[in-house]
Structure 1
Amino acid sequence: MVYVKPTSDIFIKYLFGKEEHKPLLLDFINAVQKSCDFPLIMDLEIKNPFNIKTIAAEKESILDIKAIEENGKTYNIEVQTSGKGVYKHRSLYYWSKLYAAQLMKGDQYKKLYPVSCINILDFELFNLKGKYHLCFVPRELRDPSLILTDHLALHFLELPQFTTANMDMTLEKWLYYLKHEGSDEEDTTMKTLLEDNPRLAEAHEKYSAFTRDEEK
């Protein structure tokens, strides 16, 4: 079995973007939601499922994951292994494209639904020590308790800022997994996570299958 970095874009697309892997996607998104005290979700429809042949044929593959709740809310997951401060603008731009794409010419604005972008970053974007999960929503400048709308949420998960796993927090378990999968067979923390968390154990099985597949 060869080593594949678990934050490689094609593996993330494979892990969260296949229909049969949807329970993993739900578990991960709910871990992010719970971290911000946002409502948990029950089901999703993956709008751009993983297809190795399509990816191989595209000159410029789109390897993010788009999924929609029954209530119309869109979730977009993207992984980035390097970047600078401009990535903040890129994430906002992607959000705006997803948000605007909901309407056709002549549609009423009431047809717009929330869009949440979850960015998994393998680099430091904000350089705030110990703050590995930042979520931005539009608030009133002088009264942060006053939120303009729940239609915009930008999550940034900075893996370099994450160091230890709190066994009581699902998001931290996922982040530990994404940082350490496949890198150290003697990692006792990883062994404990895989033994205690069925979803992470399933993710580990998917990783093993992925790295054994020559085409992928």
Structure 2
Amino acid sequence: MKTPSRYIDLTTDYGFKRVFGTDVNKDLLIDFLNELFQGKKVIKDLTYNKNEQQGDTAEQGLVIFDLTCTSEDDSQFIIEVQRSKQNHFKERTIYYGSKLISDQAPKGGVNGWNYAITEVYVIAIMDGFHFSDSKEYLHDICLFNQKTGQKFYDRLAFIYIELLNFNKPETVLESDLDKWLFVLKNMARLDKLPTFLKKPVFQKLFQIAEYSNLNKGEKQMYDVSLKRKWDEYAVREYWETEGMQKGIEKGIEKGIEKGIEKGMQKGIQETQRKNALNMLSLGLSLEIISKSVDLPIDEIKKLCSL
């Protein structure tokens, strides 16, 4: 494996959760979210929730989020990092938001509920693929009246960030949101804290994200997470070039999309299993492996018996 950069990649599973997913670092997530909402909403404090939610039926099993948290006014947030293009990605995020809303309904036949639901926001950070045909990098979505253009309901909202479309160089970064997006996209390429980021929140971010500050176990977890990202990129690059070229030659336009999707999924699943086996050989716990490679503990137990 090649020598890692000075700072960890924030779009890896481990990198994102290390920086944004712990109580001691929640000030970083609060600052990022407040810059994202640009005054439309002000978050003063957050409580992290478990990232596993039970499905509505036994057959549905668990729904696993990257991060989920609740603010001091009971607003709920799901923050997802997505690196590979998926069919029905929009539908998945809508399902996630709807899941948090439906879970607010009283259970056990309680009478008299007035449907006073709290705010729910789904924030998706997309790295490595285009979400839409637009060149915009920030998509702020809520329910609105198509005839008048007025907001109908903004307490269920979706914010999609396309990092591929964020191409601002250092010299034209205007807001702290610009700086956050620049860091999310470019931190792993930097070798020092830039002068334009010398604000306490970014100074703390760079200190936490320095690879040399990780202990041995943390470095192993990050290395596995980084390799997984590289593997996903390699699978995507192969199917977008070799697979697509073969499909074009055969003139099977519909087969291209299905072949790419099936090949990417198969490649990602195989990479997950290989990474889990590697981590098992290092003696890491089932819980840590499950969070790092995004596989259920039961499936990892099956790998133990191979």
* TM score, norm. by length of structure 2: 0.59
Change (3 A) 1:182 1:61: farther
Change (3 A) 1:211 1:168: same
Tell me if structure 1 keeps the 8 A contact 2:105–2:115: no
Tell me if structure 2 keeps the 8 A contact 1:13–1:63: no
Larger fraction in helix: 2
Tell me if structure 2 keeps the 8 A contact 1:2–1:211: no
* TM score, norm. by length of structure 1: 0.82
Structure 2 equivalent of residue 170 of structure 1:
176
Structure 1 equivalent of residue 186 of structure 2:
180
- Is structure 2 residue 197 aligned with structure 1 residue 194? yes
Instruction: Give aligned-pair identity as a percent.
Output: 27
Tell me if structure 2 keeps the 8 A contact 1:6–1:12: yes
CA distance in 1, matches of 2:190, 2:211: 17
Where does the alignment leave 5 or more consecutive residues of structure 1 unmatched? 50-59
Structure 1 equivalent of residue 297 of structure 2:
none
Alignment of 1:105-120 (within 5 A): 105=107, 106=110, 108-120=113-125
The higher-RCO structure (CA 8 Å, 6+ apart) is: 1
Structure 1 equivalent of residue 137 of structure 2:
132
Structure 2 equivalent of residue 23 of structure 1:
27
Structure 1 equivalent of residue 159 of structure 2:
155
Shift of the alpha carbon at 1:212?
3.0
Tell me if structure 2 keeps the 8 A contact 1:84–1:125: no
- Is structure 2 residue 209 aligned with structure 1 residue 207? yes
Deviations 1:90-140 (A, max 9, x none): 1111111111112222361434101011111002101311x1010110001
Tell me if structure 1 keeps the 8 A contact 2:79–2:124: yes
- RMSD after superposition: 2.3
Tell me if structure 2 keeps the 8 A contact 1:77–1:119: yes
Where does the alignment leave 5 or more consecutive residues of structure 2 unmatched? 52-61, 219-306
- Amino acid across the alignment from 2:164: P
Alignment of 1:29-108 (within 5 A): 29-34=33-38, 37-48=39-50, 62=64, 64-84=66-86, 86-105=88-107, 106=110, 108=113
Deviations 1:48-78 (A, max 9, x none): 38xxxxxxxxxx9945111112221111111
Larger Rg: 2
Q: Match of 1:142, SS?
A: coil
